[in-house]
Amino acid sequence: MTVTITIRRPDDWHVHLRDGDMLRLVAPYTARQFARAIVMPNLAPPVTTVEQAASYRDRILAAAGEGFNPLMTCYLIDQVDPDELSRGHAEGVWVAAKLYPAGATTNSARGVTDIANLHAALARMEAIGMPLLVHGEVTDPQVDVFDREAVFIDRVLEGLVRDFPALKIVFEHITTRQAAQFVADASATVAATITPQHLMLNRNALFQGGLRPHVYCLPVVKREEHRLAVRAAAVSGSPKFFLGTDSAPHVVAAKESSCGCAGLFNAPFALEAYAQVFDEEGALDRFEGFASRHGPAFYGLPVNEGTVTLERTAATVPEQIGSGEAAVVPFGAGGFSWRVAS
């Protein structure tokens, strides 16, 4: 008999849906699995105004089809206007704001150069209950790439949590033992999202038989001890940890390049990947919390209506999605051991 699991319809609390042709290609994959998604604002140019966010939301709705609710975010810049944040939040356009340290990742050139520049904005967000989403890596070239998340905790995050004790903070796509520990020990205002790739891969995957651009993302995958710590956090049942795919598609030519882009496209089989991890950990009873309940609780939103059923059976992943110059390679070359039942 096939083993199945049925959970409340889940949400993706961190996704890059892009724009234009790429948006039209990838949005249906997210909408097929998730009722809502926190949409990252790192377009070029970034989404810094309420009007930009509202029109981006319209383009996503057109691409994703009925029944999908994109939750928009503001890209924080040094000159951010607290009144613009309040206005967008009050109008229901912005659900949260995203901090990219300048230069930390894809399309972060307009990001924040010094956290002190955000003081007024963060005080406002704390007052109005607008969550701060953090790409938690320092950009100091003196710091080893594999240490940038752990160093960010010491240099930036501890101070943020201390100075803004009521501010809701999501430490996005955590990848290290230090990050998992920090979040677990912090107050209830601090949570974290976890991606499939950081649950499934360690840094050996980057070099398996040669250089593997399609598993290169930021923060970069880490040593095995960190993968195990992040896995333990995900399946712990703690409401501080929830699903955020960080699906971040780039066309094949941008990945297979002398300077390949960071980001991998996991949206087509995201739930399958997570279900496999929870199954391997003997924690299927905690899967619904991670995928469907902890996120809404943190954001103060209702749990979704409806359910999704997965079955334990082989799912094969196509080599590419889309065609020609627009093609993207999905995460999960070897396939998964769970599948969303049709």
Specify the stretch interacting with ligand NCD by CB under 6 A; choose among 105-113, 174-182, 281-289, 310-318. Answer: 105-113
The verdict on 42 binding ligand NCD (CB under 6 A) reads yes
The verdict on 262 binding ligand NCD (CB under 6 A) reads yes
- The separation between CA 223 and the C-alpha centre of its own chain, rounded to angstroms, equals 20
Distance CA 192, CA 295 (A): 9
For residue 246, indicate whether it is catalytic: yes
Residue 212: count of CB within 10 angstroms of its CB:
16
Selected binder of Zn ion within 12, 246, 272, 288 (CB under 5 A): 246
Count of residues making up the chain:
342
Q: Residue 34 or 216: which CB sits closer to ligand NCD?
A: 216
Are the C-beta atoms of residues 130 and 99 closer than 8 Å to each other? no
Among the listed residues 309, 316, 243, the one whose alpha carbon sits nearest the alpha carbon of residue 3 = 309
- Give the DSSP H/E element, type plus range, for residue 152: helix 148-152
The minimum distance between CB 285 and ligand NCD, in angstroms, equals 30
The minimum distance between CB 17 and Zn ion, in angstroms, equals 11
Distance CA 98, CA 82 (A): 14
The verdict on 73 binding ligand NCD (CB under 6 A) reads no
129: amino acid identity, one letter: G
The verdict on 135 binding ligand NCD (CB under 6 A) reads yes
Q: Residue 175 or 178: which CB sits closer to ligand NCD?
A: 175
Retrieve residue 275's tokens. Answer: 């279900």
Q: What is the SS3 assignment for 20?
A: helix
The minimum distance between CB 209 and ligand NCD, in angstroms, equals 22
- Give the DSSP H/E element, type plus range, for residue 123: helix 119-128
Task: Please give the residue whose beta carbon sits closest to Zn ion in the complex.
Answer: 246
Q: Catalytic residue among 12, 246, 279, 285, which? A: 246
The verdict on 105 binding ligand NCD (CB under 6 A) reads yes
Distance CA 80, CA 49 (A): 9
The verdict on 76 binding ligand NCD (CB under 6 A) reads no
The verdict on 218 binding ligand NCD (CB under 6 A) reads yes
The minimum distance between CB 173 and Zn ion, in angstroms, equals 6
The interface partner of residue 217, options being ligand NCD, Zn ion, none and the CB cut-off 5 to 8 Å by kind, is ligand NCD
The interface partner of residue 105, options being Zn ion, ligand NCD, none and the CB cut-off 5 to 8 Å by kind, is ligand NCD
Q: Residue 126 or 246: which CB sits closer to Zn ion?
A: 246
Distance CA 73, CA 99 (A): 10
63: amino acid identity, one letter: A
Under 8 Å CB-to-CB from 143, ≥6 apart: which residues? Answer: 151
- In the complex, the residues that contact ligand NCD under the rule CB under 6 A are 16, 42, 105-107, 135, 217-218, 246, 248, 262-263
Catalytic residues: 246
Binding site for Zn ion (CB under 5 A): 246
